[in-house]
Amino acid sequence: MFKGRWWDRLGWLAGAITWIAGWAAIFWPPIREYGKCVAISDPALAHRLNAVAAGQAGELPKVCTHDAVDTFIALLQIPTPIYPDVPIGGYLFLAASVIPLVVLGIWVRQAIEYWDNARVPLSVLETDVTLSFAEPDMKRAILTRKQFFHANQPDVGAYHSTTKVDGEKASIDPDHQVFDAQVGHRSIKGEIIKQGNEKSINVIEIYNESLPRNPLITILPNQVVHSIYKNFGAFFNVIVKRTTVIHLVDEYNVKEPFYSISSMRYPVTNVKLRFLFHSETAPSPEDISAFLIKDNLAMRLALPPCHEGAFTTYEVAVREFKSATIRVAWNNRNLFAWKERQPTADKPSQPQAPTAEKPAKK
């Protein structure tokens, strides 16, 4: 079944009909005008045939000597006879003719590039990463990753991932790790193989069945498949939803922490990173930055803040992610200022000034 409300789908249909009608209104007049004439290479013969046609009460089409070049010149005239109600209609037609060619060229180029990568084992359609902090002190971070992908080759039945921390005191909590995968409404989670230590873990998720395939979504570009899946629910029984939750301790409560995610040489689409801070200790907009790094090129990414109650969220999104790294870094000056205000064992809270005792009433 299609996802979304029925009026959303009706809006899509109305938009498509309007788009087709608009393009037809632009393209049909020149085609109709050119179709009225039959090109004759001999001008003398054309004049004689015109004379004959004039006596047939319009039963024969008008015979003329003009060709595509003459039609093009007519389109350049202001006003143009082809669009009597629109003086610059010819230029609108030419612009409308160039735009589809440019778009078609881009699509062909993207299709060729995509086809070079279409036969990889997995195509990742969407990656949604959330780094949230359970407490204002940022001691414990919860790293949640949701991915949507599909297999392109037979006998794909496992997924490998690596998580590591870099801080001197940082560690990965072995008791708070979740790995899950679903196709449609059924779980395909099988054996989980973990190797590593408190600083780094390598995980191989072995599914209890080979991932399903569909030749159509292997051929189509990832953005097209993603849009169809999200809007209409198509390929519901082919696309895998993978979820992981890992707790990291003492990794981001340092002076200048950072989080980074990298892609291999195969393209990944629709990557979104979300950072959920307590507003008391959240970095200010000038203290946090995000960059897309590819080789020696670093491009700054937008990272707008969003305030929701007691939390501040920063979010960055990238549509195409290939052979690159997204790096988000921030300064924890607000966190350290907050810590200075907290009472500790060697810094007790300010005692209240003593008050004189009132004499007891007799």
Largest CA distance in the chain: 137
Q: Which residue has the higher pLDDT, 75 or 321?
A: 321
Mean pLDDT of 132-143: 95
Whether residues 291 and 184 share a domain: the answer is yes
Q: For residue 259, give the nearest of 277, 279, 281 by alpha carbon.
A: 277
Stated pTM of the model: 0.68
Question: What's the distance, Cα to Cα, between the start and end of the chain in Å?
Answer: 85
Indicate the number of domains in the chain.
2
Residue 290 forms part of a structural domain: yes
Residue 46 forms part of a structural domain: no
Residue 56 forms part of a structural domain: no
pLDDT in tens, 140-166: 999 999 999 999 889 999 999 999 999
Q: Which residue has the higher pLDDT, 339 or 41?
A: 339
Is residue 40's pLDDT more than 90?
no
Rounded to whole angstroms, what are the CA distances from 202 to 65, 172, 193, 196, 312? Answer: 76, 12, 8, 6, 31
Q: Are 181 and 241 in contact (CB under 8 A)?
A: yes
Whether residues 111 and 142 share a domain: the answer is no
Mean pLDDT of 218-247: 92
Residue 44 forms part of a structural domain: no
**Residue 216, domain extent:** 122-341
Q: For residue 240, give the nearest of 265, 282, 272, 207 by alpha carbon.
A: 207
Whether residues 187 and 336 share a domain: the answer is yes
Mean pLDDT of 44-60: 53
Residue 356 forms part of a structural domain: no
pLDDT in tens, 83-130: 676 677 666 777 767 777 788 788 777 667 666 666 788 899 999 999
Q: Alpha-carbon distance 14 to 4, whole Å?
A: 16
Whether residues 85 and 112 share a domain: the answer is yes
Percent of the chain with pLDDT strictly greater than 70: 70
Whether residues 150 and 279 share a domain: the answer is yes
Whether residues 23 and 126 share a domain: the answer is no
Residue 186, burial from CB neighbour count under 10 angstroms (0-12, 13-18, 19+): exposed
Kindly report the number of other CB atoms within 10 A of residue 54's CB atom: 11
SS3 258: strand
Q: Alpha-carbon distance 195 to 129, whole Å?
A: 22
pLDDT of amino acid 27? 63
Residue 85 forms part of a structural domain: yes
Residue 359 forms part of a structural domain: no
Is residue 325's pLDDT more than 90?
yes
Which residues touch 74 (CB under 8 Å, ≥6 apart)? 33, 80, 81, 82, 90
When computed from its CA atoms, the radius of gyration of the chain, rounded to whole angstroms, is 33
pLDDT of amino acid 36? 57
**Any long-range contacts for 292-298 (C-beta under 8 Å, 24+ apart)?**
292/318, 292/324, 292/325, 292/326, 293/324, 293/325, 293/326, 293/327, 294/323, 294/324, 294/325
Whether residues 213 and 105 share a domain: the answer is no
